[in-house]
Amino acid sequence: MTQRLLILGATGRTGTQLLDLALARGHQVTAFVRSPQKILQRHPALTVVQGNPLHTDPLAQVLPGHDAILSALGPSGREAFRPSTLLAECAASTVAAMERASVKRLVLVSAALLFPGGGLRFAFFRKLIQHHLRDLVAAEAVIRATPFAWTIARPPRLIASLEDSYRSEREGLPTSAWSMSFRAVASFLLDCVEQGTHTREVVGLARGEHGA
């Protein structure tokens, strides 16, 4: 069934895949982005709106009538290594806009490193991007405190690939969850919205069996 979806982070590596898949599946899509010129795709079902996800008012103005928000927001490059509250602030503005627009469905990308365990490899990367992870923890806390039908996806390291299959596990990581494609994460987010699955759940992701 066609839905009206608003995408945050549509110019990022997961966001571009999300935009592509959502349009391919026949949805009406609004890309709410700071730099509209970065979206080169043209499609009759795509509306591009300039706006900053940190600001509640413009998001609340464009949000009414949408069925869900899909957020692929994340830091770019060196920002992941610096102290930041960007994602927590974006989560707060998103929640405030949803309350005003009476939109109840939200799916967003977090990180597998927030799960315990994972051995030395996970420990190394936790130390490396500790500031980013601290911001993600705060953002997740904002989302979890709401009454909305949210889903938090925690994928491992993301790579460029056309592979779109995935494995998922509620409140934990599937086995061998070392990496997966941006496109597979986008596929999971859309599946959750389309099928109404994993509401109010944190879900660990990994690449599909045939892509392992």
pLDDT the model gives residue 58: 97
Give the C-alpha distances (Å, rounded to integers) separating 32 from 49, 62, 69, 89, 177: 5, 9, 10, 16, 31
What's the CATH fold of domain 4-211? Answer: Rossmann fold (3.40.50)
**pLDDT for res 212:** 41
Which pLDDT score is estimated for 80? 77
Kindly give the parts of the chain with pLDDT less than 70.
210-212
The length of the chain is 212
| Model pLDDT for residues 10-63, shown as the tens digit of each residue | 999 999 999 999 999 999 999 999 999 999 999 999 999 999 999 999 999 999
**Rounded Cα–Cα distance for residues 122 and 179 (Å):** 12
pLDDT at site 211 = 47
- Distance (Å, rounded) from C-alpha 35 to C-alpha 132? 23
Asked if 93 contacts 131 with a C-beta cutoff of 8 angstroms, the reply is no
Residue pair 97/71 in contact (Cβ under 8 Å)? The answer is no
